[in-house]
Amino acid sequence: MSRLVYVLNGPNLNLLGKRQPHIYGSETLADVEASCRALAGELGLEIRFHQSNREYEIIDWIHEARETAGGIVINPAAFTHTSVAILDALNAFDAPVIEVHISNVHKREAFRHHSYVSLRADGVIAGLGTQGYGLALRRLAQLIDAQG
63 in a known ligand binding site: no
103 marked as binding residue: yes
Residue type, 145: D
User: Which of 50, 101, 116, 133 is labelled catalytic?
Assistant: 101
Helices and strands of the chain, counted as H and E runs = 5, 5
Catalytic residue status for 56: no
108 pLDDT more than 70: no
- What average pLDDT does this structure show over 21-25? 65
Mean model confidence pLDDT for the chain: 92
The answer to whether residues 75 and 36 touch, using CB atoms and an 8 Å cutoff, is no
- What pTM value is reported for the model? 0.93
Whether 112 shows a pLDDT value over 90: the answer reads no
Does residue 113 register a pLDDT over 70?
no
DSSP assignment letter at 9: E
- pLDDT tens digits along 56-90: 999 999 999 999 999 999 999 999 988 999 999 99
Domain ranges for the chain: 4-147
**4-147 is classed in which CATH architecture?**
3-Layer(aba) Sandwich (3.40)
Tell whether 74 is in a known binding site: no
Which one of 24, 50, 116, 133 is the catalytic residue?
24
The length of the chain in residues reads: 148
